[in-house]
Structure 1
Amino acid sequence: MKTTLSRFIAIIMLVIPGLAATYGFLLMKDSIYNYIVDSGNDKIVDPSFSWLLFLGGLVLFLLGAFFIGGWVFYRDKKRNYVASRFRTKKPRPAGPIIKRSASTTPTQNNE
């Protein structure tokens, strides 16, 4: 029962940002569409673009998309599905320290 409830909560945590991103996309689409429709209307002399709706939709879309993208990236990183450049670096084991003396370094003979 506990796993069912925790999975349901996890799904809800993904659905809410998905709905926010969808609503943000719709706000951006509607503001662009209304501007294009108003530009074709002869009765409106100076059509105005609704910047507030567009920017609000952009913020909602980006927040939702980044949340879902970050969640997928975190899950894939935990399961080791990401590329090697995104994996956490493991510290190299300390090996034996080799000291080189001055007599073992190669020298050049210019003779």
Structure 2
Amino acid sequence: MTRIFALVILLIPGGLAVYGIKLMRDAIFAEYLSLFFKAGIQFIAGLLLFIFGFAFIGGFIVYRDRKNKYRAIPEKQEKDE
């Protein structure tokens, strides 16, 4: 049950990041939503959503790795001679 809850917590910011990318793409190709009245505002809103979602997922991964003492690049062991 806890893993499903963690997955849901990660899916929400992931979905916001994807929606932010869509807003930025639509602003570039001049397809505006009725909520935004200028392309610049829509692009900035999409950029903020993308940054928030990306930072949340990245922070979650860093927190989990530090908690489990995971190292992506293991330290070199010196030779005893």
Instruction: State the TM bucket, normalised to the shorter chain.
Output: 0.7 to 0.9
- Number of residue equivalences: 67
1:25-104 equivalence runs, <5 A: 25-34=21-30, 50-82=39-71
- The corresponding residue for 1:9 is 5
Question: Letter of the aligned partner of 2:16 in structure 1?
Answer: A
Deviation readout 1:24-71 (Å, 9 max, x if unpaired): 011001101228xxxxxxxxxxxxx60111010001000000000000
Q: Which runs of 4+ in 1 moved over 3 A?
A: none
* Bigger relative contact order (CA 8 A; separation at least 6): 2
The CA deviation at 1:81 is 1.8
**What is the alpha-carbon root mean square deviation over aligned residues?**
1.9
Distance 2:6 2:57 in 1: 12
Distance 2:71 2:47 in 1: 28
The CA deviation at 1:82 is 3.6
Which ranges of structure 1 fall in alignment gaps of 5 or more residues?
Answer: 36-48, 85-111
The TM-score normalised by the length of structure 1 is 0.55
Distance 1:26 1:82 in 2: 34
- 2:7 counterpart of 1:18: no
The TM-score normalised by the length of structure 2 is 0.74
Which entry has the higher C-alpha Rg, 1 or 2? 1
